[in-house]
Amino acid sequence: MRGPIVIGGNGHSGTRVFCNLVTLGGVFTGIEHVTRRSDSADLRIISLLNRWVEPYLFDQLSANDLERMRAAFRRRLLLYFPIRSIKWGFKNPRTMLILPFLDQILKDMKFIHVIRDGRDVSLGNPFVTNNRYVPAFLASEERGLCPEEQMILFWGRSNQAAAEYGNQNMKDRYLQIRWEDLCREPLRQTEEICRFAECSKGNISELARVVRTPASLGRWKTYPDPQRRKVEETGRQWLQQFGYV
């Protein structure tokens, strides 16, 4: 049984394009007419994520609860991926938040960690004031910060946690790629993604045509200097870590 290719990152980070690339490259990402979307964005596991991610992040699950969570995910994924002899995978941004859990239940899984500039994630993001996972990554005194500052703290710490786990525990089963790099170097980055996912269909030039630079890339630059500086200073540690400043 092959391990899956799992794609995750913060919301609005471009994960769907990564999923489209590996799907066109021959990775099975869902049963046609059964999953809600052609790119397997949710595989109808949204209800599972809604049920389990929050208590998992806040460390509210007992040993029995964790076993129920494991059983629920195994059942759902087996339903949509009954044939495990072929390359298969799925994407959902929130998989990044439960990466250690997924790595434990999905033998030999590979993870593509998509990172987008935290300033773009924090400024202009429609979910900046409606993300129930943010408080899990904040100290109590940080919960009084403005939503954009809270979001970049969430961005930095959640990506750092995934990167540390991936690099330390998954080694060559972990791939980190910035959304901006895929947009700037579609051929080079598509080749790396397809190598990692062991894609067997299409050529790199054809697959790279899926990549389109969105108008929202770099939108943080359009915001007033005081607002930008506040977000940058709050998230500077992680903006530096991931090569944005």
Residue-range domains of the chain with CATH: 5-241 (3.40.50.300)
Indicate whether 137 pLDDT > 60: yes
Structure token digits, residue 197: 């996912």
pTM for the full predicted model: 0.93
Which range is least confidently modeled, 30-39, 69-78, 109-118? 30-39
- Confidence label for 84 from pLDDT (cuts 50, 70 and 90): low
Q: Which is more confidently placed, 124 or 42? A: 124
Which range is least confidently modeled, 37-51, 92-106, 166-180? 37-51
Per-state percent for the chain, helix, strand, coil, to nearest 5: 55, 10, 35
Segment 1-30, tens digit of pLDDT:
578 999 999 988 999 999 999 999 999 887
d(CA 128, CA 6): 25
Query: Following CA atoms 238, 216, 143, 177 in sequence, which dihedral angle do they give, to the nearest 10 degrees?
Result: -30
d(CA 112, CA 8): 6
pLDDT of residue 40: 47
pLDDT of residue 39: 47
Indicate whether 202 pLDDT > 50: yes
d(CA 125, CA 118): 10
Which range is least confidently modeled, 4-18, 63-77, 79-93, 219-233? 79-93
Average pLDDT over residues 95-103: 97
pLDDT of residue 78: 78
Indicate whether 177 pLDDT > 50: yes
Max Cα separation, the chain?
A: 54
The total number of residues shown for the chain amounts to 245
Average pLDDT over residues 117-144: 93
